[in-house]
DNA sequence: CTTCCATTTGACACCCAGTGCCATTAATCT
DNA sequence: AGATTAATGGCACTGGGTGTCAAATGGAAG
Protein backbone atom coordinates (compact mmCIF):
# COMPACT_ATOMS: atom_id res chain seq x y z
CA UNK A 1 0.00 0.00 0.00
CA UNK A 2 0.98 3.58 -0.65
CA UNK A 3 0.69 4.37 3.05
CA UNK A 4 3.83 2.39 3.81
CA UNK A 5 5.72 4.67 1.51
CA UNK A 6 4.20 7.78 3.07
CA UNK A 7 5.12 6.48 6.50
CA UNK A 8 8.66 5.64 5.50
CA UNK A 9 9.67 8.49 3.21
CA UNK A 10 7.09 11.09 4.14
CA UNK A 11 4.26 12.20 1.92
CA UNK A 12 6.08 14.88 -0.01
CA UNK A 13 9.15 12.78 -0.67
CA UNK A 14 7.09 9.92 -2.07
CA UNK A 15 6.67 10.37 -5.80
CA UNK A 16 3.73 9.19 -7.83
CA UNK A 17 6.10 6.99 -9.79
CA UNK A 18 7.03 5.16 -6.61
CA UNK A 19 3.41 4.69 -5.62
CA UNK A 20 2.49 3.45 -9.05
CA UNK A 21 5.47 1.11 -9.25
CA UNK A 22 4.62 -0.13 -5.76
CA UNK A 23 1.08 -0.89 -6.88
CA UNK A 24 2.34 -2.54 -10.04
CA UNK A 25 0.62 -0.14 -12.36
CA UNK A 26 1.78 2.56 -14.71
CA UNK A 27 1.99 6.15 -13.67
CA UNK A 28 -0.63 7.09 -16.22
CA UNK A 29 -2.99 4.49 -14.84
CA UNK A 30 -2.53 5.85 -11.35
CA UNK A 31 -3.89 9.17 -12.48
CA UNK A 32 -6.91 7.43 -13.87
CA UNK A 33 -7.78 6.03 -10.46
CA UNK A 34 -6.88 9.12 -8.47
CA UNK A 35 -7.38 12.71 -9.46
CA UNK A 36 -4.23 13.64 -7.62
CA UNK A 37 -1.61 12.26 -5.30
CA UNK A 38 -3.50 13.94 -2.48
CA UNK A 39 -6.58 11.91 -3.16
CA UNK A 40 -4.84 8.70 -2.21
CA UNK A 41 -5.39 9.38 1.47
CA UNK A 42 -9.04 10.22 0.93
CA UNK A 43 -10.58 6.92 -0.02
CA UNK A 44 -14.21 6.85 -1.02
CA UNK A 45 -15.27 9.79 1.08
CA UNK A 46 -18.38 10.31 -0.99
CA UNK A 47 -19.82 7.02 0.16
CA UNK A 48 -18.97 7.81 3.76
CA UNK A 49 -20.97 10.98 3.43
CA UNK A 50 -23.96 9.04 2.25
CA UNK A 51 -23.72 7.22 5.57
CA UNK A 52 -23.79 10.52 7.41
CA UNK A 53 -26.79 11.74 5.44
CA UNK A 54 -28.54 8.54 6.43
CA UNK A 55 -27.74 9.14 10.10
CA UNK A 56 -29.24 12.59 9.88
CA UNK A 57 -32.38 11.13 8.38
CA UNK A 58 -32.74 8.82 11.36
CA UNK A 59 -32.74 11.70 13.85
CA UNK A 60 -36.01 12.12 15.76
CA UNK A 61 -37.73 15.22 14.37
CA UNK A 62 -38.19 16.72 17.79
CA UNK A 63 -34.52 16.49 18.72
CA UNK A 64 -33.01 19.97 19.05
CA UNK A 65 -30.88 20.90 16.06
CA UNK A 66 -27.51 21.05 17.73
CA UNK A 67 -28.15 17.87 19.69
CA UNK A 68 -28.79 16.08 16.45
CA UNK A 69 -25.70 17.52 14.83
CA UNK A 70 -23.63 16.53 17.81
CA UNK A 71 -24.88 12.97 17.91
CA UNK A 72 -24.49 12.41 14.21
CA UNK A 73 -21.01 13.88 13.98
CA UNK A 74 -19.86 11.82 16.94
CA UNK A 75 -21.37 8.63 15.58
CA UNK A 76 -20.10 9.32 12.09
CA UNK A 77 -16.58 9.41 13.46
CA UNK A 78 -16.85 6.28 15.55
CA UNK A 79 -14.45 3.71 14.19
CA UNK A 80 -13.93 0.05 14.91
CA UNK A 81 -11.32 -0.13 17.73
CA UNK A 82 -9.19 -2.39 15.58
CA UNK A 83 -8.99 0.30 12.93
CA UNK A 84 -8.04 3.10 15.28
CA UNK A 85 -4.27 2.98 14.74
CA UNK A 86 -4.85 3.03 11.01
CA UNK A 87 -7.31 5.87 11.24
CA UNK A 88 -4.85 7.76 13.37
CA UNK A 89 -2.10 7.50 10.80
CA UNK A 90 -4.42 8.56 8.04
CA UNK A 91 -5.64 11.58 9.95
CA UNK A 92 -2.10 12.45 10.93
CA UNK A 93 -1.30 12.77 7.27
CA UNK A 94 -4.42 14.75 6.48
CA UNK A 95 -4.09 17.16 9.37
CA UNK A 96 -0.34 17.59 9.56
CA UNK A 97 1.09 17.43 6.06
CA UNK A 98 0.59 20.93 4.65
CA UNK A 99 -0.15 19.77 1.14
CA UNK A 100 -2.88 17.47 2.40
CA UNK A 101 -4.12 19.94 4.96
CA UNK A 102 -4.66 22.37 2.11
CA UNK A 103 -6.17 19.89 -0.29
CA UNK A 104 -8.53 18.45 2.28
CA UNK A 105 -10.32 21.76 2.45
CA UNK A 106 -11.86 20.88 -0.88
CA UNK A 107 -13.15 17.58 0.47
CA UNK A 108 -14.62 19.23 3.53
CA UNK A 109 -16.95 21.21 1.30
CA UNK A 110 -19.03 18.09 0.69
CA UNK A 111 -19.08 17.27 4.37
CA UNK A 112 -20.31 20.76 5.15
CA UNK A 113 -22.97 20.50 2.50
CA UNK A 114 -24.44 17.49 4.28
CA UNK A 115 -24.55 19.31 7.61
CA UNK A 116 -25.86 22.51 6.06
CA UNK A 117 -28.53 20.53 4.23
CA UNK A 118 -29.78 19.02 7.46
CA UNK A 119 -29.70 22.32 9.32
CA UNK A 120 -31.53 24.07 6.51
CA UNK A 121 -34.25 21.46 6.61
CA UNK A 122 -34.68 21.90 10.33
CA UNK A 123 -34.62 25.67 10.11
CA UNK A 124 -36.88 25.82 7.11
CA UNK A 125 -34.35 27.82 5.15
CA UNK A 126 -32.20 27.35 2.09
CA UNK A 127 -29.01 25.30 2.48
CA UNK A 128 -26.96 28.26 1.36
CA UNK A 129 -28.54 30.73 3.75
CA UNK A 130 -26.23 32.28 6.29
CA UNK A 131 -27.22 30.31 9.37
CA UNK A 132 -26.99 26.77 7.97
CA UNK A 133 -23.70 27.63 6.33
CA UNK A 134 -22.25 29.20 9.45
CA UNK A 135 -23.45 26.23 11.46
CA UNK A 136 -21.87 23.75 9.07
CA UNK A 137 -18.63 25.68 8.87
CA UNK A 138 -18.28 25.97 12.61
CA UNK A 139 -19.24 22.37 13.23
CA UNK A 140 -16.51 21.34 10.84
CA UNK A 141 -14.10 23.63 12.61
CA UNK A 142 -14.92 22.16 15.99
CA UNK A 143 -14.53 18.65 14.60
CA UNK A 144 -11.10 19.51 13.24
CA UNK A 145 -10.04 20.99 16.56
CA UNK A 146 -11.21 17.80 18.24
CA UNK A 147 -9.28 15.68 15.77
CA UNK A 148 -6.10 17.64 16.35
CA UNK A 149 -6.58 17.35 20.08
CA UNK A 150 -7.08 13.62 19.73
CA UNK A 151 -4.00 13.22 17.57
CA UNK A 152 -1.76 14.98 20.01
CA UNK A 153 -2.85 12.92 23.03
CA UNK A 154 -2.28 9.22 22.37
CA UNK A 155 -4.61 8.16 25.15
CA UNK A 156 -7.68 10.15 24.16
CA UNK A 157 -10.94 8.73 22.87
CA UNK A 158 -11.92 10.48 19.66
CA UNK A 159 -15.65 10.33 20.26
CA UNK A 160 -15.33 11.77 23.75
CA UNK A 161 -13.25 14.66 22.53
CA UNK A 162 -15.66 15.32 19.68
CA UNK A 163 -18.62 15.22 22.01
CA UNK A 164 -17.04 17.60 24.48
CA UNK A 165 -16.02 20.04 21.79
CA UNK A 166 -19.43 20.01 20.13
CA UNK A 167 -21.07 20.57 23.49
CA UNK A 168 -19.04 23.74 23.83
CA UNK A 169 -20.21 24.84 20.41
CA UNK A 170 -23.82 24.23 21.33
CA UNK A 171 -23.29 26.40 24.39
CA UNK A 172 -21.81 29.22 22.40
CA UNK A 173 -18.55 28.80 24.30
CA UNK A 174 -19.99 30.31 27.43
CA UNK A 175 -17.71 30.31 30.45
CA UNK A 176 -20.44 29.28 32.88
CA UNK B 1 -0.45 44.26 -11.16
CA UNK B 2 -0.87 40.52 -11.29
CA UNK B 3 -4.55 40.87 -10.39
CA UNK B 4 -5.34 42.23 -13.82
CA UNK B 5 -4.03 39.01 -15.31
CA UNK B 6 -6.01 36.89 -12.85
CA UNK B 7 -9.12 38.84 -13.71
CA UNK B 8 -8.58 38.55 -17.42
CA UNK B 9 -7.29 35.02 -17.88
CA UNK B 10 -8.34 33.44 -14.62
CA UNK B 11 -5.99 32.42 -11.85
CA UNK B 12 -5.12 28.98 -13.10
CA UNK B 13 -4.53 30.07 -16.67
CA UNK B 14 -2.14 32.80 -15.61
CA UNK B 15 1.38 31.45 -15.50
CA UNK B 16 4.12 32.63 -13.20
CA UNK B 17 6.13 33.58 -16.28
CA UNK B 18 3.39 35.97 -17.32
CA UNK B 19 3.18 37.51 -13.87
CA UNK B 20 6.92 37.91 -13.69
CA UNK B 21 7.15 39.37 -17.17
CA UNK B 22 4.28 41.70 -16.33
CA UNK B 23 6.13 42.90 -13.26
CA UNK B 24 9.32 43.27 -15.23
CA UNK B 25 11.26 40.76 -13.19
CA UNK B 26 12.65 37.32 -13.82
CA UNK B 27 10.76 34.20 -12.93
CA UNK B 28 13.39 33.23 -10.38
CA UNK B 29 13.13 36.60 -8.74
CA UNK B 30 9.38 36.20 -8.47
CA UNK B 31 9.87 33.09 -6.38
CA UNK B 32 12.17 35.02 -4.12
CA UNK B 33 9.41 37.49 -3.29
CA UNK B 34 6.59 34.95 -3.13
CA UNK B 35 6.78 31.44 -1.80
CA UNK B 36 4.25 30.37 -4.38
CA UNK B 37 1.91 31.71 -7.00
CA UNK B 38 -0.87 31.34 -4.44
CA UNK B 39 0.84 33.75 -2.10
CA UNK B 40 0.39 36.62 -4.53
CA UNK B 41 -3.19 37.13 -3.41
CA UNK B 42 -2.23 37.05 0.24
CA UNK B 43 -0.28 40.25 0.72
CA UNK B 44 1.36 40.86 4.05
CA UNK B 45 -1.16 38.95 6.09
CA UNK B 46 1.25 38.63 8.98
CA UNK B 47 1.19 42.37 9.57
CA UNK B 48 -2.58 42.42 9.38
CA UNK B 49 -2.68 39.83 12.12
CA UNK B 50 -0.54 42.02 14.31
CA UNK B 51 -3.32 44.58 13.96
CA UNK B 52 -5.86 41.99 15.11
CA UNK B 53 -3.72 41.03 18.10
CA UNK B 54 -3.60 44.69 19.03
CA UNK B 55 -7.38 44.96 18.82
CA UNK B 56 -7.72 42.02 21.19
CA UNK B 57 -5.39 43.70 23.61
CA UNK B 58 -7.62 46.74 23.65
CA UNK B 59 -10.68 44.74 24.74
CA UNK B 60 -12.02 45.62 28.19
CA UNK B 61 -11.10 42.75 30.53
CA UNK B 62 -14.65 42.40 31.75
CA UNK B 63 -16.15 42.01 28.30
CA UNK B 64 -17.54 38.50 27.81
CA UNK B 65 -15.28 36.32 25.69
CA UNK B 66 -17.52 35.85 22.70
CA UNK B 67 -18.53 39.50 22.67
CA UNK B 68 -14.89 40.45 22.44
CA UNK B 69 -14.25 37.95 19.68
CA UNK B 70 -17.23 39.18 17.77
CA UNK B 71 -16.28 42.84 18.01
CA UNK B 72 -12.68 42.25 17.07
CA UNK B 73 -13.42 40.00 14.12
CA UNK B 74 -15.97 42.46 12.80
CA UNK B 75 -13.64 45.43 13.21
CA UNK B 76 -10.70 43.55 11.80
CA UNK B 77 -12.67 43.00 8.62
CA UNK B 78 -13.86 46.55 8.25
CA UNK B 79 -12.39 48.02 5.11
CA UNK B 80 -12.33 51.51 3.70
CA UNK B 81 -15.45 51.85 1.47
CA UNK B 82 -13.23 52.87 -1.42
CA UNK B 83 -11.37 49.58 -1.16
CA UNK B 84 -14.45 47.39 -1.05
CA UNK B 85 -14.57 46.47 -4.76
CA UNK B 86 -10.92 45.56 -4.63
CA UNK B 87 -11.37 43.53 -1.46
CA UNK B 88 -14.28 41.78 -3.06
CA UNK B 89 -12.26 40.69 -6.05
CA UNK B 90 -9.45 39.50 -3.84
CA UNK B 91 -11.78 37.47 -1.65
CA UNK B 92 -13.54 36.10 -4.68
CA UNK B 93 -10.26 34.62 -5.78
CA UNK B 94 -9.43 33.28 -2.35
CA UNK B 95 -12.81 31.73 -1.70
CA UNK B 96 -13.77 30.53 -5.14
CA UNK B 97 -10.63 29.38 -6.94
CA UNK B 98 -10.03 25.85 -5.68
CA UNK B 99 -6.26 26.15 -5.68
CA UNK B 100 -6.46 29.27 -3.54
CA UNK B 101 -9.25 27.94 -1.40
CA UNK B 102 -7.02 25.02 -0.55
CA UNK B 103 -3.88 27.02 -0.05
CA UNK B 104 -5.56 29.63 2.11
CA UNK B 105 -6.19 27.02 4.75
CA UNK B 106 -2.52 27.28 5.60
CA UNK B 107 -2.80 31.03 6.10
CA UNK B 108 -5.84 30.67 8.29
CA UNK B 109 -3.74 28.77 10.81
CA UNK B 110 -2.05 31.99 11.90
CA UNK B 111 -5.38 33.77 12.13
CA UNK B 112 -6.73 31.02 14.34
CA UNK B 113 -3.64 31.16 16.51
CA UNK B 114 -4.38 34.80 17.28
CA UNK B 115 -7.96 34.03 18.27
CA UNK B 116 -7.00 30.92 20.23
CA UNK B 117 -4.31 32.91 22.04
CA UNK B 118 -6.82 35.49 23.18
CA UNK B 119 -9.38 32.89 24.19
CA UNK B 120 -6.78 30.92 26.11
CA UNK B 121 -5.78 34.00 28.02
CA UNK B 122 -9.36 34.70 28.97
CA UNK B 123 -10.06 31.12 29.92
CA UNK B 124 -6.80 30.68 31.77
CA UNK B 125 -5.84 27.70 29.68
CA UNK B 126 -3.20 26.80 27.16
CA UNK B 127 -3.68 28.08 23.59
CA UNK B 128 -3.65 24.53 22.31
CA UNK B 129 -6.22 23.24 24.76
CA UNK B 130 -9.43 21.94 23.25
CA UNK B 131 -11.74 24.85 24.01
CA UNK B 132 -9.61 27.72 22.67
CA UNK B 133 -8.84 25.70 19.57
CA UNK B 134 -12.45 24.76 18.98
CA UNK B 135 -13.47 28.35 19.53
CA UNK B 136 -10.88 29.64 17.09
CA UNK B 137 -11.72 27.04 14.48
CA UNK B 138 -15.42 27.71 14.65
CA UNK B 139 -15.00 31.47 14.66
CA UNK B 140 -12.96 31.14 11.50
CA UNK B 141 -15.62 28.92 10.01
CA UNK B 142 -18.36 31.40 10.77
CA UNK B 143 -16.29 34.20 9.29
CA UNK B 144 -15.80 32.22 6.10
CA UNK B 145 -19.50 31.51 5.86
CA UNK B 146 -20.16 35.21 6.29
CA UNK B 147 -17.66 36.08 3.60
CA UNK B 148 -19.24 33.65 1.17
CA UNK B 149 -22.65 35.03 1.95
CA UNK B 150 -21.35 38.55 1.37
CA UNK B 151 -19.73 37.60 -1.92
CA UNK B 152 -22.88 36.11 -3.32
CA UNK B 153 -25.09 39.11 -2.49
CA UNK B 154 -23.69 42.24 -4.10
CA UNK B 155 -25.67 44.54 -1.86
CA UNK B 156 -24.67 43.14 1.51
CA UNK B 157 -22.51 44.87 4.09
CA UNK B 158 -19.68 42.60 5.14
CA UNK B 159 -19.55 43.78 8.74
CA UNK B 160 -23.27 43.31 9.22
CA UNK B 161 -23.15 39.79 7.89
CA UNK B 162 -20.16 38.95 10.04
CA UNK B 163 -21.84 40.38 13.10
CA UNK B 164 -25.03 38.46 12.52
CA UNK B 165 -23.21 35.21 11.91
CA UNK B 166 -21.01 35.59 14.97
CA UNK B 167 -24.07 36.37 17.07
CA UNK B 168 -25.49 33.01 16.02
CA UNK B 169 -22.27 31.34 17.06
CA UNK B 170 -22.36 33.01 20.45
CA UNK B 171 -25.89 31.69 20.87
CA UNK B 172 -24.90 28.16 20.01
CA UNK B 173 -27.20 28.30 16.99
CA UNK B 174 -30.28 28.08 19.13
CA UNK B 175 -33.57 28.35 17.27
CA UNK B 176 -35.19 30.56 19.88
C1' DC C 1 36.85 57.88 -9.82
C1' DT C 2 38.08 53.38 -8.53
C1' DT C 3 38.31 49.32 -5.79
C1' DC C 4 36.24 46.10 -2.92
C1' DC C 5 32.48 44.07 -0.75
C1' DA C 6 27.84 42.32 -0.24
C1' DT C 7 23.38 41.84 -1.96
C1' DT C 8 20.10 41.13 -5.75
C1' DT C 9 19.12 39.30 -9.83
C1' DG C 10 18.07 36.00 -13.37
C1' DA C 11 19.63 32.30 -16.61
C1' DC C 12 19.90 27.42 -16.70
C1' DA C 13 19.06 22.93 -15.45
C1' DC C 14 16.45 20.10 -12.68
C1' DC C 15 12.44 17.50 -10.29
C1' DC C 16 7.80 16.36 -9.97
C1' DA C 17 2.54 16.62 -10.51
C1' DG C 18 -0.78 16.45 -13.81
C1' DT C 19 -2.78 16.02 -18.83
C1' DG C 20 -3.58 14.93 -23.83
C1' DC C 21 -2.63 11.69 -27.31
C1' DC C 22 -2.23 7.29 -29.13
C1' DA C 23 -0.74 2.62 -29.87
C1' DT C 24 -1.10 -1.75 -27.53
C1' DT C 25 -3.22 -5.00 -24.79
C1' DA C 26 -6.85 -7.27 -22.38
C1' DA C 27 -11.91 -8.25 -21.88
C1' DT C 28 -16.34 -8.99 -23.70
C1' DC C 29 -19.80 -10.13 -26.90
C1' DT C 30 -21.57 -12.57 -31.06
C1' DA D 1 -12.34 -17.26 -33.86
C1' DG D 2 -13.42 -12.48 -35.05
C1' DA D 3 -14.96 -8.02 -33.99
C1' DT D 4 -15.74 -4.39 -30.65
C1' DT D 5 -14.92 -1.92 -26.59
C1' DA D 6 -12.56 -0.72 -22.50
C1' DA D 7 -8.35 -0.52 -19.79
C1' DT D 8 -3.52 0.29 -19.90
C1' DG D 9 0.73 2.66 -20.11
C1' DG D 10 4.35 4.88 -22.93
C1' DC D 11 5.60 9.50 -24.57
C1' DA D 12 5.76 14.14 -24.80
C1' DC D 13 4.41 18.45 -22.95
C1' DT D 14 2.95 22.25 -19.57
C1' DG D 15 3.66 24.54 -15.41
C1' DG D 16 5.07 25.19 -10.41
C1' DG D 17 8.88 25.19 -7.57
C1' DT D 18 14.11 24.72 -6.28
C1' DG D 19 19.36 24.59 -6.35
C1' DT D 20 23.34 26.50 -8.38
C1' DC D 21 26.10 29.88 -10.07
C1' DA D 22 27.66 33.74 -12.71
C1' DA D 23 26.67 38.40 -13.80
C1' DA D 24 24.73 42.81 -12.46
C1' DT D 25 23.86 46.21 -9.02
C1' DG D 26 24.77 49.20 -5.34
C1' DG D 27 27.07 51.21 -1.75
C1' DA D 28 30.94 52.35 1.28
C1' DA D 29 35.78 53.28 1.70
C1' DG D 30 40.14 54.62 -0.28
Closest CB from B134, B152, B173 relative to A135: B173
Same domain membership, residue B56 and residue B6: no
Question: Do A5 and A22 meet the contact criterion of CB atoms below 8 Å apart?
Answer: yes
Q: What is the mean pLDDT of chain B?
A: 96
Which residues of chain A have a pLDDT value below 70? Answer: 176
Residue A175 lies in a domain: no
CATH number, domain at A27? 1.10.10.60
Question: Residue B175 pLDDT > 90, yes or no?
Answer: no
Distance in Å, alpha carbon of A24 to nearest chain B alpha carbon: 30
Where residue B114 falls among pLDDT bands split at 50, 70, 90? very high
Residues of chain B numbered 2-31 and touching chain A (CB < 8 Å):
none
Q: How many domains does chain B have?
A: 2
φ and ψ at residue B156, rounded to 5 degrees: -65, 155
Query: Is residue A126 less than 8 Å (CB to CB) from chain B?
Result: no
pLDDT at B2: 76
Structural domain harbouring B34:
1-40
In a domain, B176, yes or no: no
* Cα gap B100→B150, rounded to integer Å: 18
Q: How much is the pLDDT for A79? A: 96
Tens digit of each residue's pLDDT (9 = 90 or more) over B151-172? 999 999 999 999 999 999 999 9
Residues B55 and B114 in one domain: yes
Same domain, A129 and A116: yes
| pLDDT at residue B137 is higher than 80 | yes
pLDDT bin (cut points 50, 70, 90) of residue B44 is: confident
Q: Are A103 and A59 members of one domain?
A: yes
Same domain membership, residue A156 and residue A117:
yes
Rounded Cα gap, residues A5 and A15, in angstroms:
9
Question: B45-97, pLDDT tens digit by residue?
Answer: 988 999 999 999 999 999 999 999 999 999 999 999 999 999 999 999 999 99
Same domain, A28 and A93: no
User: Do residues A8 and A50 both lie within one domain?
Assistant: no
Count Cα neighbours of A133 within 13 Å in the Cβ-side half-sphere.
21
| Model pLDDT, residue A176 | 58
Mutate to test the interface with A, among B38, B131, B138, B151 (most CBs of A within 10 A): B138
Residue B16 falls inside a structural domain: yes
Percent of chain B with pLDDT over 90: 94
Chain-chain contact of A66 with B137 (C-beta, under 8 angstroms): no
Indicate if B12 and B72 belong to the same structural domain. no
Asked whether residue A176 is assigned to any structural domain, the reply reads no
Chain C positions under 7 Å from a protein CB? 9-12, 15-21
Amino acid sequence: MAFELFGREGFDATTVDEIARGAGIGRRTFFRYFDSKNDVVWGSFGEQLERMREQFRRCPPDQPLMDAVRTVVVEFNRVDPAEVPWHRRRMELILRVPALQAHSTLRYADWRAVVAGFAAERLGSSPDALVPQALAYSTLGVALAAYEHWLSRPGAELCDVLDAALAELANGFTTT
